[in-house]
Structure 1
Amino acid sequence: MMNRFANGARRARFAGWLVFGVLAGTTAQAHASDLLASAKSAGVLRVANTQSSPPWSLLDNSNQPAGYDVEMAREVAKRIGVAEVVFVADSFKNFVEGLKSGKYDLVMNDLTPTPERGKQVDFGVPYGVEDFRIFVRADNANIKGQPDLKGKRVGVTTGSSNESWARAHLKDSDIRTYDNGGLVFSDLGTGRIDAVIISHFGGMKYANVNHLPVKEVGDPLIYQLSAPALAKNQPALLAAVNKAIDEMMADGTIDRLAKKWVGPNYDMVGTIAKAKEQKE
């Protein structure tokens, strides 16, 4: 009798655990699919950027977020039905974990889709593209291209695709990481490092704004697309963001914002198309 009672109790507990597990899984799935609905309900879309990677994201003279990615994020929010964007300052190395932990809804900051990142987060359609170059001090006559980086101290931004590329292709260089692009250029200017690998646009912006004695050398090292990143299992948010970017690509918004922030002669839409063709 006691055994039958004990067995019945165990079966009841197991059934309870099973129901609880199903409900918990259902709740988790519902929660996972709620980011777009939550953003619309709250009227706020949380978007991460570094605020220190011009021309993509920076702080303007009023200490407010500005740049190509910033304006793109605001336009995306408007088109998906969210009134306000709250920008969360973070570094490249934290973006993936920040999305996974729910710290923000999107990352829009010149973030390149890579197979490694794609295992942990999802990417929308590309809305930006750039080439990465070598920057050295203006008085450096020894480094003229990639082969000359052997044995040299090379600065990169922590967690960025230029760090990944440098570690994969510059095995004989001393790779040094920085959380802030401004700091890496400061060290280049003072001679603490020999070279920096960064995008053409970002490098020229730092050089011009900070009046640093640096120059760009060699051919482009790598050609990279950028796209919005978001947590896995967010089909509604992903679809809405992709639709907004496709519309902006077609109606001239991307072209207008690129000319404003990247350069008046820069063909962002055409260059994205060429980069996608090359990758394929």
Structure 2
Amino acid sequence: MNRAFLRRDLLCRLLAYSAFGMVSAPAAWAQQVDLLSHARATGVIRIANTQASPPWSMLDDRNQPAGYDVEVAKEVAKRIGVAKVEFVADLFKNFVEGLKAGKYELVMNDLTPTAEREKQVDFSTAYGLEDFRIFVRAVNNDIKDRPDLKGKRIGVTAGTSNESWSRANLLNSEIVTYDNGGLVFNDLAIGRIDALISSHFGGMRYATVNKLPIKEVGPVLTYQLSAAAMQKNQPALREAVSKAVKDMRADGTIDRLSNRWLGVSYQMSTEITQAERQ
């Protein structure tokens, strides 16, 4: 075996080891670094959202992120001392693992702090609240309430609290998951599923903007808070984001943004406070 071959073999091994090391490097780095200090130093914080779940996050006519969560995220970044937000598009089902892998510092997209999620990531003080309802085709008069969902195909967005709630409470229904929140509405409109579970604001906004022949039926199924999610063991980031949100709730910013993006006179801060006391 000649020396040239040995050198090539050694080089290949070193490159392979380096590549394997780089796969886990972002996650290991993020777990060791104070992410708030790093974001302030670089002037940039990465915040994930779907950009496909209006009115919470979507793309506007200039193909830029827009929506309630987007505006709240920009204001939070400003108040914690970070000049720029880099929005990262991802799926609901990827958010928790994306945080743990260091793909972004925060998730702000109508994400509910469930007990299962809190085992893996931390959450800030809540900045949103919504009620979840049943949506059916406009011509459907058979489904009026939760009992009518028995034996039906129910659409939900994968990885959302809508999915976990449906699987826990609609045991006699077939739960159909979608990676893209918009596709579930389209499939309902053309009859591929019998109903879907969505937030009142999100469902009505999507149906109205896209002129879909669907309607909301029945009483509220459940109320769910939304908060900013982040990696565990980042106390400075969690404290700073929570303080920013609390100040925004107190000074009227949350109500102003919710009125703008939800299209109603809605006292979001008051509703959140009442839900937190329950």
TM-score for both structures, normalised by structure 1: 0.88
Residue 29 (structure 1) shift: 9.4
Counterpart position of 2:130: 130
In structure 2, C-alpha distance between the alignment counterparts of 1:29 and 1:232, rounded to whole Å = 13
Give me the whole-angstrom Cα distance separating, in 1, the residues matched to 2:29 and 2:185: 44
**2:242 corresponds to which residue?**
242
CA contact (8 A) 2:30 2:102 kept: no
The aligned runs of 1:191-210 (5 Å cut-off) are: 191-210=191-210
Q: Distance in 2 between matches of 1:31 and 1:188?
A: 42
Deviation at 1:253, TM superposition (A): 0.7
Q: Summarize the alignment of residues 35-184 of structure 1 with structure 2, pairs less than 5 Å apart.
A: 35-184=35-184
Contact 1:33 1:235 (C-alpha < 8 Å) held by counterparts: no
How far residue 246 of structure 1 moved from its aligned partner, in angstroms, is 1.0
User: Alpha carbons of 1:34 and 1:244: their partners in 2 closer, same or farther (altered >3 Å)?
Assistant: same
- TM-superposed CA distance for 1:235, in Å, is 0.4
Partners of 2:67 and 2:30 in 1: how far apart?
34
* 1:277 and 2:277 are equivalent in the alignment: yes
What do the CA deviations read for 1:228-266 (whole angstroms, capped 9, x no partner)? Answer: 000000001011101111111111111110110012311
Alpha-carbon RMSD: 1.2
Q: How many residues align?
A: 251
Deviation at 1:63, TM superposition (A): 0.8
What's the offset of the Cα at 1:32?
A: 2.9
Q: Which runs of 5+ in 1 are unaligned?
A: 1-27
Correspondence list, 1:225-236, <5 A: 225-236=225-236
**Residue 29 to residue 233, structure 1, CA distance change in 2 (3 Å):** farther
CA distance in 2, matches of 1:91, 1:238: 23
Q: Is the 8 A contact 1:54 1:202 kept in 2?
A: yes
> Could you tell me how far apart the structure 2 residues matched to 1:235 and 1:29 are?
16
Conservation of the 8 A alpha-carbon contact between 2:51 and 2:65: yes
Moved more, 194-203 or 262-271: 262-271
Indicate the residue corresponding to 1:223 in structure 2.
Answer: 223
1:266 equivalent to 2:277? Answer no
1:36 is aligned with what amino acid?
A: L
Kindly provide the amino acid, as one letter, of the partner of residue 228 in structure 1: A
Residue 32 in structure 1 maps to residue 35 in structure 2: no
Structure 1 pair 101/76, CA: closer, same or farther in 2 (3 Å)? same
Matched letter for residue 275 of structure 1: A
Q: Report the structure number with the largest CA radius of gyration.
A: 1
Q: Secondary structure of the residue that 2:130 maps to in structure 1?
A: strand
Question: Quick one: distance in 2 between partners of 1:207 and 1:215?
Answer: 8
How far, CA to CA, are the matches of 1:202 and 1:55 in structure 2?
6
Q: Does structure 1 retain, via aligned residues, the 8 Å contact 2:132–2:199?
A: yes
Distance 1:181 1:64 in 2: 18
SS in 1 for 2:110: coil
Counterpart position of 1:251: 251
Query: Residue deviations 1:147-193, cap 9 Å, x none?
Result: 00000000000000000000000111010000111100000000000
List runs of 5+ in structure 2 lacking aligned partners: 1-27
Post-superposition shift, 1:276?
A: 1.1
- 1:267 Cα deviation (Å)? 1.0
**Residue 33 (structure 1) shift:** 4.3
Give the partner amino acid of 2:181.
G
Cα shift readout 1:18-59 (whole Å, capped 9, x = no counterpart): xxxxxxxxxx79953411111111110100000011111011
Q: Residue 190 of structure 1 corresponds to which residue in structure 2?
A: 190
Secondary structure of 1:52 counterpart: coil
In 1, the alpha carbon distance for the partners of 2:261 and 2:32 equals: 34
For the residues of structure 2 that align with 1:235 and 1:146, how far apart are their CA atoms?
Answer: 41
**Aligned counterparts of 2:32 and 2:137: Cα–Cα separation in 1:** 48
Contact 1:32 1:233 in 2 (8 A): no
CA contact (8 A) 2:46 2:88 kept: yes
